[in-house]
A = this chain, B = another copy of it.
Amino acid sequence: MKTLFIGGIKSGKSRSAENYIKKLSDKKPVYLATTEFIDDEMQERIAQHQQQRKSDFITVEEAINLKEKIALQEGAVLVECLSMWINNMLYREKSYAQMEAEVANILELKQDIVFVINDVSCGIIPENKLARQFVDISGKLSQLVAQKCDEVYHVVAGISTQIK
């Protein structure tokens, strides 16, 4: 079972995905945090998320080699989130092809995986070239993941609507 939650900033996509994965199996799910670069603002967001999660998850961290890390887990894995991972990959000057290959490999794992991605597609085209590149990659990977997922949820104002 593969599932995608896509929604904007503070749309409630993470909480929706967390509630969803807790119901997938009796085994405690794994929270795979992809966050790497942390400033004070980020730290605050992370602390809020951790507070929300409490003891419902086993938390592991991996900024780059997601497939390898996911393959080691026993329970269902929540990838939180793909957007941060794209960011990490861009920072290391990885190509889109490398990201696509990694995501394709993840999608072939037998485990239950729930992906969260930030929808950044509905603003005006950014003037900044790196931002444009990020938006493009985010969109293309969203399509790739959605195509392979069994279920896809679009989250608006905390309400998740199944679109696949």
* Copies per complex of this chain: 3
B147:A156 contact, CB within 8 angstroms: no
CA gap between A121 and B152 in the complex, in Å? 19
- Report, as a range, how many residues of chain A touch the other chain: 35 or more
CB distance from A135 to the nearest CB of B (A): 5
CB interface residues, A 150-164, toward B, < 8 Å: 152, 154, 156-159, 161, 163-164
A6:B123 contact, CB within 8 angstroms: no
The proximity string for A residues 4-23 relative to B, scoring 1 for CB distances below 8 Å and 0 otherwise, is 10111111100000000000
A122:B124 contact, CB within 8 angstroms: no
Is A125 positioned at the interface, with any CB of B under 8 Å from its CB? Answer: yes
- Chain B residues lying within 8 Å of A163, measured Cβ to Cβ, are 156-157, 159, 161
Is A76 positioned at the interface, with any CB of B under 8 Å from its CB? Answer: no
The listed residue (B126, B146, B147) touching A124 by CB distance below 8 A is B126
Interface locus among A66-74, A98-106, A136-144: A136-144
B8:A143 contact, CB within 8 angstroms: no
The listed residue (B119, B123, B159) touching A156 by CB distance below 8 A is B119
Q: A121-B122, A123-B120, A157-B152 are in contact. Are A143 and B10 (CB under 8 A)?
A: yes
Q: A: which residues have CB within 8 A of B? A: 4, 6-12, 41, 117, 119-126, 131-132, 134-136, 138-140, 142-143, 145-147, 152, 154, 156-159, 161, 163-164
